[in-house]
Amino acid sequence: MASYAKRLWLEEDLGDDYRWSYRVSEVLFSGRSEYQEVDLVDTPTWGKVLLLDGKMQSTEADEEVYHELLVHPTLLHHPNPKRVFIMGGGEGATAREVLRHRSVEQVVMVDIDKVVTDFCSQHLARNQAAFRDPRLTLINDDARVQLEAAEDASFDVIIADLADPLDGGPCYQLYTQEFYRNVVLRKLAPGGVFVTQSGPAGFLSCREVFASIHATVRSVFPAVLAYAQHIPSFCDTWGFNIGFQDPQQAPVLSPEEMDARISERISNGPLGFLDGTTFAGLRQLNKMVRAALEGPDVEVYTLDNARFIHGAGVKSAGS
Amino acid sequence: MASYAKRLWLEEDLGDDYRWSYRVSEVLFSGRSEYQEVDLVDTPTWGKVLLLDGKMQSTEADEEVYHELLVHPTLLHHPNPKRVFIMGGGEGATAREVLRHRSVEQVVMVDIDKVVTDFCSQHLARNQAAFRDPRLTLINDDARVQLEAAEDASFDVIIADLADPLDGGPCYQLYTQEFYRNVVLRKLAPGGVFVTQSGPAGFLSCREVFASIHATVRSVFPAVLAYAQHIPSFCDTWGFNIGFQDPQQAPVLSPEEMDARISERISNGPLGFLDGTTFAGLRQLNKMVRAALEGPDVEVYTLDNARFIHGAGVKSAGS
Amino acid sequence: MASYAKRLWLEEDLGDDYRWSYRVSEVLFSGRSEYQEVDLVDTPTWGKVLLLDGKMQSTEADEEVYHELLVHPTLLHHPNPKRVFIMGGGEGATAREVLRHRSVEQVVMVDIDKVVTDFCSQHLARNQAAFRDPRLTLINDDARVQLEAAEDASFDVIIADLADPLDGGPCYQLYTQEFYRNVVLRKLAPGGVFVTQSGPAGFLSCREVFASIHATVRSVFPAVLAYAQHIPSFCDTWGFNIGFQDPQQAPVLSPEEMDARISERISNGPLGFLDGTTFAGLRQLNKMVRAALEGPDVEVYTLDNARFIHGAGVKSAGS
Amino acid sequence: MASYAKRLWLEEDLGDDYRWSYRVSEVLFSGRSEYQEVDLVDTPTWGKVLLLDGKMQSTEADEEVYHELLVHPTLLHHPNPKRVFIMGGGEGATAREVLRHRSVEQVVMVDIDKVVTDFCSQHLARNQAAFRDPRLTLINDDARVQLEAAEDASFDVIIADLADPLDGGPCYQLYTQEFYRNVVLRKLAPGGVFVTQSGPAGFLSCREVFASIHATVRSVFPAVLAYAQHIPSFCDTWGFNIGFQDPQQAPVLSPEEMDARISERISNGPLGFLDGTTFAGLRQLNKMVRAALEGPDVEVYTLDNARFIHGAGVKSAGS
């Protein structure tokens, strides 16, 4: 066993001249869709790891942190979130966290790849209950098409759990000013809140996409809140941006208010990672990242001019 | 050139089943002391990298962030730091940051390895001025011996820029309760402040040494302040602990106070990474790390019972 | 697909400071016995690869060459081989090649690991017919126990298709003078011929085990014939030693005689790799290897003094 | 030291999905010419290794075998070699072996890269005497230009120690029918012999270039002799082709004749690797390789149609 395990490695490029490798002890399940390969492997370092096209999507060791941070700050900032739309999120963990909110009555999750959602609902034990929750409507389609087709003002919260805006990838349109203005903002109910995963947000990496996603959200929403946390299995600090439809309602919950809402609203005990103090830390970005966000040269993503990041080392959270 | 560079890689184990590699474009200088090998290599990912025994010590890309965080919060919390003792720090960057404080009159830096200090004073352009600053006294000796030999109450600030408390390594005694109580605390002048680099402090890694170093500092000093920041070239979030001799003077500067002191006290322009807001973020540790620090099972390092971490993936910041 | 395949690599140590890696496009089947893990993976470089404990056992690309060389020179040098005993060989390819000889009436194959033989009979298409051939008796047991229990003088040919005599491994006794003298030689019928895979036989590697296996066979058998061929997937030249019970019958078939016997005796067309000229080349070892075999310092393996090779980069052909 | 050495690796692609790595204990010397980078590194596996553009050129462990095989069979088949022309060979080892022949009066070695020849004459201890031998004329120029400029019929032996005919590389013209017919054959004195390194010649790799180089030599020279040997540091069996101007004189020395000529003609003791028996083995190619050489589809390299191999894993012996 030991000797076997020493020999099979997953290697991931983190940059052109920079990569990491982690040992795979077992390939648990493999599948393939028309869009991508799907694998679940076991590793000594990260526990079970979900791979899409051989790339780390989430790990048993730290997916909870990523998903808590994607979901809860947004829902906690909304006064009473009932209807939630998830773009992507096929793994099921985003829905799992959303469904912990007692106020939530309906979750619509739209992920294009049925093979992924079937695979995850079958093989990811943590997320099985979410897939079977009667409040969840799972649709395998293009998230944009489904959101455009929804009635205006129909969602309290919209969550973008999508792959980074890779050049040529299918997700880039979902990061543009046009999409935010013409679709997302319009589908939010009054007081609605939007959040998007926003790529690497370290002081060395935040200019790749994080700064532009932030600028794009800010160009459309009356108020925006950025925060970031180091996620070990992404090998970087990861960023998020919340857009508020109503600037009055908006930032920022005090640590005490956040703690109070967590205990009132969230079922299944307190959260593992997030609380008021944690969030107070994460939303006070460091000087280098703030300089990047505030720089005069940050580009807003539009359908025309979006510069998109390329290649490796990028979380593909959604599609 | 491109093809050459593709072929020489530095590989570093980050754990038993987990490693990373980065391409080396050129081996610039190599030396060897009785303690270790010293190399300066150039890399596309990190710029120039200083290696001790083939292990990343600091990189052009992010050493500034590490050294700002090691030095400035501590000196800024002291009302008027004049005399500073650095344990380790052979690279010279810690001294460089200390010497930016206009109040500083004397810096004693004790690093055991003359080959390293000679190498760095010669080859690291950023630190050359620090090595030649008349306020700096550089001694190549055991830091403990020199600190013990110093007059009591002689330093306003003591900085431990040492290798992690590796099992069998030379530095573990410098992380014990006995050393803090019998040496460090005694050599601090009234109102003195101590800081130690404290190893990995991510939510997955903080139980390795960070929690114990924190507990050990807290067991000796009347007040303690912990903070952490993701350092890309260490592939983890990195922790620091400040110990205050005088609890009255102690935590915590407001962001505005910190910003004011930075502009009053520090020469050569504002800092690149640190300001009041940055520090306010970093000292509000997340819930998982706080739980680790506050857990009932955290061991205080003593000469007798210190459990020390092993092996790879560990910053050897000092010796 | 391409991106996935780029990321999963099998890494094999070829020495302490030396390794290779080949990309795995798919893990086809995995199993585990009480002795070892068994996997069949697909690779762009070698086609399908059988792994025991994660180590390359044989590849679609070149197993034919290894198995032709293990089997045919020995059977062709026997005047009329009818009864054949295979030690190890669980993969089935050795039996497959033996069964191509029209004269063969009975093959006894003894491999300790039923999981391996079941796995290979099910998943290795090339060898399925051999596993089902009525002339084959497959026994899952210790090869030594079974050979000792056989009637004396019962086999025309005995083939050792075993793991290298690794230190501590289960196979080392099967490479000793005692075993050859007390068991192998005794079980051979008059005119009988023995062959053993004999490990790396390159000019840099032949002193590891090849020279000693040669010396050991020579110390027991009246005549011995060594030959070697570069096998790409073993990343070395590989050696074989034939021991002849009867020196009269013995070496060496001329190329013409070998070609004639191949066409008379072997079913399913001519061989892919071996013919008389090929063998004439392979049995004329180079000067460095001959010097190693003839050196005064070569150790004969005995139960007492056998020095065994360690570790990695070694063909585990059999058990 | 040990820990350092564990971390710096030279990685070489052996194919698209297949690579190896060996540990570098020290980078001894580095240089750069207008053509390529030149490095001498020390490794535990191969001893000192010469790298051109980061690619293994020759190693202390086995360069002797390659160079003996390139040089001696050709000179030994010539009745009395006095004047020798070396294309490439900048490392100096080819000249070193040629100069061991007592009959040799003049060696002209033409390698384009003065930085390489300076570097090797300075740093490769084994070859220093050759570089200083008064019989050697070293010219840094294009080998083709110099050979074309030579008087007709001026050399007894011409040796091509060149990089493989890589697509786009500078050497491909030196492997064409036109070059052999119009230049090489014409510059050979009566009874002259030509040899060229001929790339990978394993049963899996011989169709890459070896078969075509063989066919091209055979299409011009009245007689041709091919042979091959596994060279560990090239990770393959390596091929050579000798072309004889005079079919009468030609193949093949019996082992006894070759041994006799070695002891008569070669200074500095017997050869380490080559003798008559060795060569008798190497020139009897295996059935698969013979089939490749004799196949109807083998292409002769011409200026027009040469298909050239691409990429990695290829000896660049000369330029």
pLDDT of residue D251: 64
Closest by Cα among B191, B126, B117, B115 to B158 = B191
CA C118 to chain centre: 19
pLDDT band at D2 (very low <50, low <70, confident <90, very high): very low
Which range among A263-267, C17-21, D28-32, D207-211 shows the weakest confidence by mean pLDDT?
Answer: D28-32
**Are the C-beta atoms of C9 and C307 separated by less than 8 Å?**
no
Residues D260 and D117 placed together within one structural domain of the fold: yes
Residue C310 forms part of a structural domain: no
pLDDT of residue B304: 81
Separation in Å, CA D11 to CA B10, B24, D20: 10, 11, 6
> Alpha helix locations (H) across chain C?
2-5, 63-77, 93-98, 114-123, 128-132, 143-149, 177-179, 185-187, 210-220, 255-265, 276-282, 287-294
* Nearest beta carbon to residue C61 from set D204, D232, D282: D204
pLDDT of residue C43: 94
pLDDT of residue C244: 96
Mean pLDDT of C106-111: 98
Domain boundary among C10, C30, C57: C57
Closest by Cα among A56, A62, A97, A105 to A80 = A105
User: Which two three-digit tokens encode residue D53?
Assistant: 């553009």
Rounded to an integer, what distance in angstroms lies between the CA atom of residue D51 and that of residue B24?
A: 15
Separation in Å, CA D289 to CA A195, D44, D198, D239, D295: 63, 33, 13, 10, 10
**Average pLDDT taken over every residue of chain B:** 90
* Nearest beta carbon to residue A230 from set B16, B202, B281: B202
Closest by Cα among C211, C278, C206, C209 to C237 = C206
Q: Over 50: is that where the pLDDT of D142 sits?
A: yes
pLDDT in tens, A121-170: 999 999 999 999 999 999 999 999 999 999 999 999 999 999 887 645 66
Residues D36 and D120 placed together within one structural domain of the fold: no
C304 is catalytic: no
- Cα three-residue angle B101-B103-B106, rounded to 5 degrees: 90
**Average pLDDT taken over every residue of chain C:** 90
The percent of residues above 90 in pLDDT, for chain C, comes to 75
Which range among B170-174, B240-244, C65-69, C74-78 shows the weakest confidence by mean pLDDT?
Answer: B170-174
Q: Over 60: is that where the pLDDT of D66 sits?
A: yes
**Structure ipTM:** 0.92
> Alpha helix locations (H) across B99-197?
114-123, 128-132, 143-149, 177-179, 185-187
The percent of residues above 70 in pLDDT, for chain C, comes to 91
Closest-CA residue of C relative to A13 is C7
Residues D31 and D140 placed together within one structural domain of the fold: no
Q: Over 70: is that where the pLDDT of C319 sits?
A: no
**E strand or H helix at A138, and its extent?**
strand A136-139
Task: Answer whether D9 sits within 8 Å of B9, measured CB to CB.
Answer: yes
Closest by Cα among B114, C23, B19 to D6 = B19
Residues B184 and B266 placed together within one structural domain of the fold: yes
State the residue for tokens 């970031």: A228
pLDDT in tens, D269-287: 789 999 999 999 999 999 9
Burial of C26 (0-12, 13-18, 19+ CB in 10 A): middle
pLDDT band at D314 (very low <50, low <70, confident <90, very high): very low
Q: Over 70: is that where the pLDDT of A2 sits?
A: no
**Are the C-beta atoms of D52 and D41 separated by less than 8 Å?**
no
Task: Answer whether C284 sits within 8 Å of D278, measured CB to CB.
Answer: yes
pLDDT of residue B26: 84
Rounded to an integer, what distance in angstroms lies between the CA atom of residue D111 and that of residue D198?
A: 18
Residues B96 and B52 placed together within one structural domain of the fold: no
First to last CA, chain C: 35
pLDDT of residue A274: 98
* Nearest beta carbon to residue B286 from set A15, A236, A281: A281
Domain boundary among C38, C57, C76: C57
What values do phi and psi take at B120, rounded to 5? -70, -35
Which strands make up the sheet holding A236-244, listed edge to edge? A136-139, A106-110, A83-88, A155-161, A188-200, A236-244, A223-231
Rounded to an integer, what distance in angstroms lies between the CA atom of residue D152 and that of residue D148?
A: 9
Residue C309 forms part of a structural domain: no
C chain contacts of residue D291, beta-carbon cutoff 8 Å: none
pLDDT of residue C267: 93
The percent of residues above 70 in pLDDT, for chain D, comes to 91
pLDDT of residue A236: 96
pLDDT band at D216 (very low <50, low <70, confident <90, very high): very high
**Which of B156, B161, B164, B236 is the catalytic position?**
B161
Residues C193 and C52 placed together within one structural domain of the fold: no
Mean pLDDT of A90-118: 97
- 3-class SS string, C128-174: HHHHHCCCEEEECCCHHHHHHHCCCCCEEEEEEECECCCCCCCCHHH
pLDDT of residue A101: 98
pLDDT of residue C317: 35
Q: Chain D contact for C5, CB < 8 A?
A: yes
Give the list of residues 6+ apart from residue B26 with CB closer than 8 angstroms, or none.
B41, B42, D30
Q: What domain range is C267 assigned to?
A: 63-294
pLDDT of residue C250: 60
**Average pLDDT taken over every residue of chain D:** 90
Rounded to an integer, what distance in angstroms lies between the CA atom of residue B117 and that of residue B29?
A: 14
Domain boundary among A37, A59, A81: A59
Rounded to an integer, what distance in angstroms lies between the CA atom of residue B28 and that of residue B49?
A: 10
First to last CA, chain A: 35
Q: Which residues of A are annotated as catalytic?
A: 161
Closest-CA residue of D relative to C200 is D232
Task: Answer whether A281 sits within 8 Å of B283, measured CB to CB.
Answer: yes
pLDDT of residue B2: 35
Mean pLDDT of C272-297: 96
pLDDT of residue A147: 97
D chain contacts of residue B32, beta-carbon cutoff 8 Å: 1
Give the list of residues 6+ apart from residue A25 with CB closer than 8 angstroms, or none.
A1, A4, A5, A8, A41, A42, A43, A44
Task: Answer whether D204 sits within 8 Å of C232, measured CB to CB.
Answer: yes
Q: Over 70: is that where the pLDDT of A314 sits?
A: no
**The domain that contains A155 carries what CATH number?**
3.40.50.150
81-100 of B, contacting D, C-beta below 8 A = none
> Alpha helix locations (H) across B82-236?
93-98, 114-123, 128-132, 143-149, 177-179, 185-187, 210-220
Give the list of residues 6+ apart from residue D47 with CB closer than 8 angstroms, or none.
D59, D60, D61
Residues A71 and A44 placed together within one structural domain of the fold: no
**Are the C-beta atoms of B279 and B227 separated by less than 8 Å?**
yes
Residues C94 and C151 placed together within one structural domain of the fold: yes
User: Which two three-digit tokens encode residue C183?
Assistant: 């068991």
Residue D317 forms part of a structural domain: no
Which range among A230-234, A264-268, B167-171, C315-319 shows the weakest confidence by mean pLDDT?
Answer: C315-319
pLDDT band at B4 (very low <50, low <70, confident <90, very high): very low
pLDDT in tens, B111-160: 999 999 999 999 999 999 999 999 999 999 999 999 999 999 999 999 99
- Beta strands at A18-23 and B18-23: parallel, antiparallel or unpaired: antiparallel
Q: Would residue D5 be called left, alpha or beta, if left means φ above 0 and alpha means ψ between -120 and 50 degrees?
A: alpha
Q: Chain B contact for D316, CB < 8 A?
A: no
34-73 of D, contacting B, C-beta below 8 A = 37, 39, 51, 53-55
Question: What is the residue type of C20?
Answer: W
Interface test with D, best of C284, C293, C294 (most D CBs within 10 A): C284
Residues A191 and A42 placed together within one structural domain of the fold: no
Residue C243 forms part of a structural domain: yes
Q: Over 50: is that where the pLDDT of A202 sits?
A: yes
**Are the C-beta atoms of A52 and A36 separated by less than 8 Å?**
yes
pLDDT in tens, C225-281: 999 999 999 999 999 999 999 888 666 899 999 999 999 999 987 899 999 999 999
**The domain that contains C37 carries what CATH number?**
2.30.140.10
Q: Over 60: is that where the pLDDT of C194 sits?
A: yes
Residues A150 and A214 placed together within one structural domain of the fold: yes
Tally DSSP H helices, then E strands, for chain D: 12, 13
pLDDT of residue C2: 35
Q: Strand locations in A140-273, DSSP E? A: 155-161, 188-200, 223-231, 236-244
**Are the C-beta atoms of A81 and A72 separated by less than 8 Å?**
no
pLDDT in tens, B191-212: 999 999 999 999 999 999 999 9
User: Which two three-digit tokens encode residue A224?
Assistant: 């925006």
pLDDT of residue B250: 60
Residue B308 forms part of a structural domain: no
Q: Over 70: is that where the pLDDT of C112 sits?
A: yes
Closest by Cα among B207, B188, B186, B189 to B198 = B207
Task: Answer whether A45 sits within 8 Å of B15, measured CB to CB.
Answer: yes
pLDDT in tens, D177-191: 999 999 999 999 999
pLDDT of residue B96: 98
pLDDT band at B70 (very low <50, low <70, confident <90, very high): very high
Our CA-based measurement puts residue B26 at a distance from the nearest CA of chain D, in whole angstroms, of 9
Residue B302 forms part of a structural domain: no
pLDDT band at B262 (very low <50, low <70, confident <90, very high): very high
Closest by Cα among A315, A301, A285 to A199 = A315
> Alpha helix locations (H) across B227-315?
255-265, 276-282, 287-294
Residue D315 forms part of a structural domain: no
Give the list of residues 6+ apart from residue A297 with CB closer than 8 angstroms, or none.
none
State the residue for tokens 């009975």: C106
State the residue for tokens 């003591």: B158
Rounded to an integer, what distance in angstroms lies between the CA atom of residue C213 and that of residue B67?
A: 60
Task: Answer whether D54 sits within 8 Å of B3, measured CB to CB.
Answer: yes
Q: Which residues of D are annotated as catalytic?
A: 161
DSSP B11-74: EEEEETTEEEEEE-SEEEEEEE-SS-EEEEEEETTTEEEEEETTEEEEETTTHHHHHHHHHHHH
D chain contacts of residue B115, beta-carbon cutoff 8 Å: none
Mean pLDDT of A299-310: 70
Tally DSSP H helices, then E strands, for chain A: 12, 13
If one counts the domains in chain B, the total is 2
DSSP B299-318: PPP-TTT---B-SSS--B--
Residue C164 forms part of a structural domain: yes
Mean pLDDT of C95-122: 96
Whether the CA torsion B233, B234, B238, B243 is positive or negative: it is: negative
pLDDT of residue B170: 65
pLDDT band at C3 (very low <50, low <70, confident <90, very high): very low
Closest-CA residue of A relative to B232 is A236
Our CA-based measurement puts residue A42 at a distance from the nearest CA of chain B, in whole angstroms, of 12
Per the omega criterion (within 30 degrees of 0), is the bond before B41 cis? no
What is the signed CA dihedral for D166, D172, D177, D179, rounded to 10 degrees?
-160
pLDDT of residue B247: 84
Residues D136 and D254 placed together within one structural domain of the fold: yes
Residues C183 and C264 placed together within one structural domain of the fold: yes
User: Which two three-digit tokens encode residue D289?
Assistant: 């390789």
Which strands make up the sheet holding D26-32, listed edge to edge? D26-32, D37-43, D47-52, D55-59
Task: Answer whether D17 sits within 8 Å of C22, measured CB to CB.
Answer: yes
- How crowded is residue B106: how many other Cβ atoms within 10 Å of its Cβ? 15
Closest-CA residue of B relative to D24 is B8
Q: Over 80: is that where the pLDDT of B39 sits?
A: yes
pLDDT in tens, B271-302: 999 999 999 999 999 999 999 999 888 999 99
